Copies of this chain bind each other. A is one copy, B any other.
Amino acid sequence: MATSTTRTKRGKGPDKPAPARPTQKDIALAAGVSQAAVSLVLNKAETPSVPPATRTRILEVAEGLGYRPNHPARMLRSARTMTFACVIPDITNPFYPGLVRGLQTVAAPAGYDVLIFDTDGRPEREARAIDWLLQGRADGVVATFFHLRVPQLAVLARKGIPLVRLESRHKPDGPLAIDSVYIDNAEAAAEMTRLLIARGHRRIAMIQAEFGPSQRRAQGYGAVMREAGLVPDFVTDSAYSEESGARAMKRLLERKGGRPTAVFGASDVLALGAMEAARTAGLSIPDDIAIAGFDDIPVAKLLGLTTVRQPEFDLGALAAETLVKRLQPGGLGAPGKSHELKFEIMKRSSV
């Protein structure tokens, strides 16, 4: 028993003798019971085999020593991490913090923590995320993948890790524990395009990003344009960043054939960059050029940006609910479902 008390703990290096975090063994020793009894009392509300007196003593000793359960040990033993991972391209894109908040709001009461993994929208980082998840660091995942498709993602589901994808359209049900939440991006973009046309615009350009939901939004825009007998006009820059948006706008403004009268950014961040570039070029919005976006990030309202509202908080909350259900007994067997939420066109002053 002396071995237990002389234990030095965590790194036998030349560090200061950081006092050990007390374990159940320490409590057991101090309370004169076995470690098993301690575990029983600490975890079960009702313990038929431990009388109230002993129970109280154990709890008091635990309290006195400042006992906190060792999370890694619990994870190992129970094969549960009580953690959700949130895999997103970029936390500095204002769309995602809202999503994260929605996730957390549902996850926390269910006992789950949320861990953020940024991919930068790069394929190798997305692959790393999968690898990371396969190490058993989270019980479930909410993710936006720009590059990976179901074949690469299926490994998660097969290993018992449910995944909820933030998607840009309805996905057919599949046999695996891969669900999705989405708004109909194509229809939303179509509606926004119709609005621009209704306002009299004929030369409408769309600023796209290379990957991600931009594609689907472009489809909606393109379809409506052609339907109206107009020519879709795409400018693609790399990422969902203001810099990309500004660069694309510059290219539009420098064109020989004259500039468009309206520009539809595939995301608010792109639209913001476009607005800045337009202002820098001395154009006034919406008189000289109309600008629309997609996402309705918090700033959009302040800047008067006309945009498509995605209910990001609700999307996150719904994703979390889906995961919580999946992780209840038997939940992994159900086929993958696709949940649609409604978008809304926010008409403001930029159009």
Contacts and interface: CB of A to CB of B under 8 A. Distances in A.
Contacts of A341: none
A101 B92 contact: yes
B136 A116 contact: no
Interface string A52-82: 0000000000000010111111011001010
Interface in A79-133: 79, 81, 91-92, 94, 97-98, 100-101, 104, 113-118, 131-132
Contacts of A19: 158-159
B100 A91 contact: yes
A32 interface: no
Contact of A135 (B71, B94, B155): B71
A239 B70 CA distance: 34
B92 A98 contact: yes
A10 B158 CA distance: 12
A134 interface: yes
A14 interface: yes
A48 interface: no
Copies per complex of this chain: 2
Given A11-B79, A116-B115, A70 B329 contact: no
Nearest to A175: B16
A19 to B, nearest CB: 6
A157 B92 CA distance: 30
Interface string A318-334: 00000000000111110
A18 B136 contact: no
B115 A115 contact: yes
Given A72-B72, A303-B303, A160 B10 contact: yes
A254 interface: no
A206 interface: no
Contacts of A330: 13-15
A101 B97 contact: no
A94 B94 contact: yes
A276 interface: yes
A299 interface: yes
A272 B302 contact: yes
Given A97-B92, A159-B21, A72 B81 contact: yes
A351 interface: no
A137 interface: yes
Interface in A8-35: 9-11, 13-16, 18-19, 21
Given A91-B97, A302-B303, 6 more contacts: A9-B79, A18-B159, A104-B118, A113-B132, A115-B115, A116-B116
Interface of A: 9-11, 13-16, 18-19, 21, 66, 68-73, 75-76, 79, 81, 91-92, 94, 97-98, 100-101, 104, 113-118, 131-132, 134-137, 155, 158-160, 242, 272, 275-276, 298-299, 302-303, 329-333
